[in-house]
Amino acid sequence: MKKNNKYVIVVSYDAFSKDNWESAASKPNLAKLIERGASTNLMKSVYPTLTYVIHSSYVTGVYPDRHGVFHNNPFQPFVPENDQKWHWFRSDIQAPTVYEAAGSKGLTTAGLLWPVSGKADIHFNIPEIKAIKNENQALKILKSGSKLFTMQMELKYGKVRQGIQQPYLDDFTTLCAVDTIKKKKPNLLLMHLIDLDDTKHLYGTKGPHIEEIIERMDRRIGDLIQATIDADIYEETTFIIVGDHSQLDVQYKVYLNRILYEEGLIYEENGNWHWRAYVQSAGGAAYLHVQPGDVEAEKIALTILQDAARNEAYGIEAILSAEELQEFHVASKFRYMIEAKEGYAFEDDHLQEAVVDLHALGEKYATHGYSPDKADYTSNLIISGNGVKAGSTIGEACVVDIGPTIAHILDVDFANTDGRALTEIFKR
């Protein structure tokens, strides 16, 4: 095929995990893609299993120790979660991206609510970005994306959206994608749908609410397929439907900074908070930050955490050393991470009581961030199109394989990655 006859649509379906596979595979549009392509529910993630870390690995084909996005949020001690900055901008990624590789070959690219894509070199770009404090949401997106394209989509479909509430946000993203496919025919379209992840966080991983979302997801994918038919590019389009991480149900929220505070490693002075050691939580995992050169604080913090690990109440599964983190390709600046047991998740607040039983409060909650080695913690991947061996099985794959596989389909140069193109699923 000529380069202008090749199209890839990547649907990142946040939290589309192994436990959703059976339900999803029975839905008409996903079943069609599976039948026509290759699939697996053994997609392994990176550590910690957070959306922005993973999406950076998708587009770069490298692990976090190379792309530099180690968390959804830069480290911001004592800043409430709702007021924290995120890794919104392309400049946060310290590695080449597959969309830039495609663009440099003359291919057209589009990004819709794609994480870490603010001010990226994407032709048609509405980045995933959130106003904080007194910022204006619309203005912030306009400044960080493709102004004319964003304005056009907002004028056409903005009334569908209700802030970031679901299912309206994903409906808006899908309408924008359908319009973009028909009008722009981008060679590479990256889009992020969040309905499933949001709902699992709020209501847990099991129940009729999950089935409803998977049905909505299937309808949206049907709309995308129909758009390629309407645009007369269906036969030349490869669909990649991918889940970034799983989620686990949580009964206990654990505030490890409360213990550090009680031991004097977090303290107040002249009305301001200070820290010698601080735990930055990532849901099912957490980073230990220590002030540079404060050897004593590191020693005290480790002793505190090791004592806590011996107490069942804190739900600590492991305290990982620098050597162990190296095997997970975690950035070398981190010497220790804490992994939570299933049923537990970490939070930052140092003034909250150390352990909160959500069930006692009548609350449901689920989250991610846990080690990708947790049992049955994989996600799903479907790659479907005319160039793919129909009905084939991918087996084990990793999120770092997505970028190289996109590059392979589009026939663009994308070397020096940690992942590999899944060439075995394609027809020769």
Instruction: Let me know whether 183 and 294 are in one domain.
Output: no
Instruction: Let me know whether 382 and 362 are in one domain.
Output: no
317, 334, 367: which is the final residue of a domain? Answer: 367
Residue 4: is its pLDDT beyond 50?
Answer: no
Residue 382 half-sphere exposure, CB side, CA atoms within 13 Å?
A: 27
pLDDT of 165-202, one tens digit each?
999 999 999 999 999 999 999 999 999 999 999 999 99
Average pLDDT (73-81) is 95
Instruction: Let me know whether 15 and 108 are in one domain.
Output: yes
Instruction: Let me know whether 143 and 220 are in one domain.
Output: yes
Task: Categorize the per-residue pLDDT at 139 as very low, low, confident or very high, splitting at 50, 70 and 90.
Answer: confident
Instruction: Let me know whether 212 and 257 are in one domain.
Output: no
**Closest C-alpha among 55, 403, 5 to residue 187:** 5
367, 387, 413: which is the final residue of a domain? Answer: 367
Burial per residue of 275-293, b for 16 or more beta-carbon CB atoms within 10 angstroms, e otherwise: bbbbbbbbbbbbbbbbeee
How much of the chain exceeds pLDDT 70, in percent? 99
CATH number where 299 lies: 3.30.1360
Answer whether 0.75 is exceeded by the pTM: yes
Complete DSSP assignment for 310-360: TSGGG-EEEEE-HHHHHHTT--TT---EEEEPTEEEE---SSS-SEEETGG
Instruction: Let me know whether 35 and 87 are in one domain.
Output: yes
Quote the pLDDT of residue 2. Answer: 38
How far is 306 from 319, CA to CA, in rounded Å?
8
Quote the pLDDT of residue 407. Answer: 97
Average pLDDT (121-135) is 92
Instruction: Let me know whether 224 and 204 are in one domain.
Output: yes
**Domain with 298 in it:** 249-367
367, 383, 401: which is the final residue of a domain? Answer: 367
CATH number where 51 lies: 3.40.720.10
Instruction: Let me know whether 183 and 60 are in one domain.
Output: yes
Instruction: Let me know whether 418 and 363 are in one domain.
Output: no
Instruction: Let me know whether 228 and 136 are in one domain.
Output: yes
Task: Categorize the per-residue pLDDT at 163 as very low, low, confident or very high, splitting at 50, 70 and 90.
Answer: confident
How far is 340 from 315, CA to CA, in rounded Å?
6
| Count of domains forming the chain | 2
Instruction: Let me know whether 349 and 404 are in one domain.
Output: no
Instruction: Let me know whether 201 and 102 are in one domain.
Output: yes
